[in-house]
Amino acid sequence: MMRVLLLGGTTEAGQMATALFDAGIDAVYSYAGRTKSPVPQPLSTRIGGFGGVAGLIEYLGEKKITHVIDATHPFAAGMSKNAFAACRDAGVPLIRFERAPWAAGPGDNWTLVPTINEIPAALPDPPARVFLAIGKQQIGLFAAKPQHHYVLRLVDAPDAELPLPDVTVLLARGPFTIQGDVALMQEHAITHVVAKNAGGVGARAKLDAARTLGLPVIMANRPILPGDVTAGGVAEVMAWLGHDADRGV
């Protein structure tokens, strides 16, 4: 009997959840528990870590999971690596949902750096006004460049003092719009935009807004993830499960 574990936390995972639900497939949606009130999903939902690879192997056995879909964010490298190792050791088939990385187009002024760690060094020395749209997990890196005014966009209010002397915090959860991001950048007189190469649609607006305003973007490339069984879309994953998305069970 098929039972799917869907590792979520992205727009595409939400789309995957709807397809699984519509096909009547027994599936559970998994959030890490990073945000206070995650978007509800049509599937039964679990929240929180598994307890590393060993914890995930135990979960797969206990819940009799027959397939795992890794639809986590391209920067959720820890989860993807754990899922790969646990599924390999437990002999459970795994597919990773891979959204295409963004590529610069005409009018874009992007500086690509290998990882988030290299972003502060790519910022100018004279004081600038930087839109930091990378969430809050790596904010500490920017304490190396305290001279800038940072505008931070977070999902939840920070629970601790931010390590930046000159910062404005905006609370918002995506997906975002170009108009909204143009207005935000104008209102805060942004001179530089910082982003992760997340791909997908939910975080794309700020790049189009930056192009509209002729602003430079400093972007971190995504980590290399294990496993070569990947899918670029919901229908491909459903076919991998042996279900045609539009035919249902």
Using rule CB under 6 A, residue 156 touches ligand 3Y8? yes
Q: Which of 17, 19, 68, 82 binds ligand NAP (CB under 6 A)?
A: 82
CB of 12 to ligand NAP, least distance (A): 10
d(CA 134, CA 75): 10
Q: Which of 27, 28, 30, 199 binds ligand NAP (CB under 6 A)?
A: 30
Instruction: Identify the CA nearest to 137 among candidates 115, 121, 122.
Output: 115
Using rule CB under 6 A, residue 61 touches ligand NAP? no
Return the exposure string of 221-231: e unless at least 16 CB atoms fall within 10 Å of the residue's CB, then b. Answer: ebbebebeeeb
- Whether residue 139 contacts residue 164, with contact meaning beta carbons closer than 8 Å, is answered with yes
Using rule CB under 6 A, residue 7 touches ligand NAP? yes
Instruction: Identify the CA nearest to 230 among candidates 80, 94, 28.
Output: 94
Contacted by 7, from ligand NAP, ligand 3Y8, none: CB < 5 to 8 Å by type: ligand NAP
The 3 state secondary structure assigned to 156-197 is: CCCCCCCCCCCEEEEECCCCCCHHHHHHHHHHCCCCEEEEEC
Instruction: Identify the CA nearest to 228 among candidates 240, 242, 211, 212.
Output: 240
Using rule CB under 6 A, residue 109 touches ligand 3Y8? no
Using rule CB under 6 A, residue 234 touches ligand 3Y8? no
Tell me the residue number closest to ligand 3Y8, measured at CB.
135
Q: Which helix (H) or strand (E) holds 21?
A: helix 11-22
Q: Which of 40, 51, 61, 248 binds ligand NAP (CB under 6 A)?
A: 51
Contacted by 136, from ligand 3Y8, ligand NAP, none: CB < 5 to 8 Å by type: ligand 3Y8
Which range touches ligand 3Y8 (CB under 6 A), out of 50-58, 141-149, 167-175, 240-248? Answer: 167-175
d(CA 51, CA 48): 9
Residue closer to ligand 3Y8 by CB (options 134, 190) is 134
Binding mask 30-49 for ligand 3Y8 (x = CB under 6 A): -xxxxx--xx----------
Using rule CB under 6 A, residue 10 touches ligand NAP? yes
DSSP string, 198-243: --SSTTTHHHHHHHHHT--EEEEPPPP---S-EESSHHHHHHHTT-
d(CA 40, CA 59): 22
Contacts with ligand NAP by CB under 6 A lie at 7-10, 30-32, 34, 49-52, 55-56, 72-73, 75-79, 82, 135, 196
Chain positions contacting ligand 3Y8, by CB under 6 A: 9-11, 14, 31-35, 38-39, 73, 133-138, 153-156, 173-176, 196, 198, 200, 202-203, 206
